[in-house]
Each structure stands twice: as C-alpha cells, then as structure tokens.
Amino acid sequence: MDENHAFQYLESLIGQTLRLHATDTRIFVGTFKCTDSARNIILASTYEYRFPSPSAVRDAPTDAENQDAGIAAESPNVKVNMTSRFIGLVVVPGHHITKIELEETPQQSRVREVLKKS
C-alpha cells in the first residue's frame, strides 16, 4: 500500500470504533480520534477491559460450586468474565500497542466491501 492509500485508509477510520490490545494484556475499545508519527492513538468514549486476576481464576470453580450446587461438578469448564471500566478519553502510547482491530457492524462491513470494489 503506497503512502497516499495508507493515509486515506487511516483517515477513513476516524470516528470508527477500534479495539486496541496493549502489551500488558489490557484491551481498549473506543472511538478513534487521531494518531501521530509516534503511533500514539487517542480514543474517546473508551472502555478498558482486563483479564481476570490469577486469584479470581483460581477461585472461580469454588464460587461456581457454591452458586450452582452439583452443576459445577458436571462441567469442568468455568467461565470467568473480564473486568471493565469506562475511562473516557485516553491516549494509548504506540509502543504499547500490539494489535489494532476495527469493530464494525455487519452493515458497515458490507458498505466497506462495496467501496473497496469501486
């Protein structure tokens, strides 16, 4: 992709919802506002997601047994939810970003495919 196409694609992402994965395993989901030459990214209306702590994972089977007596024994799999919090406007340093994903609705995906073809 040449520089002009890369710039146009980046510009088309402004206002879209991005999912940024950080080196410390946190995930930020928010509206893409801007970036700079150091690859820092500013997101608005952002939620931060964290994987459960090791102690929460360790205690999950016991908690499941207490809530659903007998059911946990039938299934060896226990789900533990990620924690989340609203953080609003955030700057994610470029050197901490490991992956960037575009979150789009099925309708947005179809429109993007049509635009690619033209």
Residues 106, 79, 99: CA angle, nearest 5 degrees: 50
Is 44 contained in some domain? yes
Is 61 contained in some domain? no
User: Other CB atoms closer than 10 Å to residue 46's CB: what's the count?
Assistant: 21
Is 72 contained in some domain? no
Is 21 contained in some domain? yes
In whole angstroms, give the CA distance from residue 46 to residue 44: 5
3-state secondary structure of 91: strand
Return left, alpha or beta for 25; rule: phi > 0 is left, psi -120 to 50 is alpha, else beta.
Answer: left
pLDDT tens for 88-118 read: 999 999 999 999 999 877 777 777 788 778 7
**Containing structural domain, residue 17:** 3-49+85-117
Q: How many domains does the chain have?
A: 1
For 48, the token pair is: 């931060």
Q: Is the pTM of this model over 0.85?
A: no
In whole angstroms, give the CA distance from residue 45 to residue 51: 20
pLDDT tens for 44-81 read: 999 999 988 888 778 777 765 666 555 544 556 777 78
CATH number for the domain including 14? 2.30.30.100
For 88, the token pair is: 């609003």
Is 112 contained in some domain? yes
Is 64 contained in some domain? no
